[in-house]
Amino acid sequence: MNISEAARRSGLSAKTIRYYEEINLIAPAVRGVNGYRQYDSRAVEELHFLARAREVGFDLLECRQLLELQRDSGRQSRHARQLVLEKSRQLQTRIEQLAAMQRVLQDLASRCRGDEGPECAILEDLAGTAAEESRS
């Protein structure tokens, strides 16, 4: 099948598929007589695997590791589990960071009158002038 059909079936864009070939994440597609890329069902399965891995948050290096495990019939499932647990820990840390950022934003918004006047606690805080004024 051609790249547009492989893209449709895998859930990736043709541009992404070409990029994955360029960085050797997947094997280069076989070229037809017309020079167009041709993908078999195994290649599309790998592309779908990568699409799913990216969807749940794995970066390209992690996708490469997971794909190597997927290709290895002698693999040990503990390796995949370790990768998933590490990604889960990283995501939990990021969630906590985002929640802290949200609390700061809500605090900033609560301190701003939001009226027609020029005074704005948000802008003062971001500029660092609110802390300077309170020290004076």
pLDDT digits (tens, 9 = 90+) for 30-56: 998 998 999 999 999 999 999 999 999
pLDDT class of 133 with cuts at 50, 70, 90: low
Q: How many domains does the chain have?
A: 1
Domain range for 37: 1-57
**Res 12 pLDDT > 80:** yes
Q: Read off the pTM.
A: 0.78
At residue 31, the 3 state secondary structure works out as: strand
Alpha carbon distance 66, 64 (integer Å)? 6
66 neighbors 80 (Cβ within 8 angstroms):
yes
| CATH code of 15's domain | 1.10.1660.10
8: in domain: yes
Q: How many CB atoms lie within 10 A of CB 123?
A: 13
Q: How many CB atoms lie within 10 A of CB 16?
A: 17
**Res 130 pLDDT > 60:** no
39 neighbors 8 (Cβ within 8 angstroms):
no
Alpha carbon distance 125, 105 (integer Å)? 11
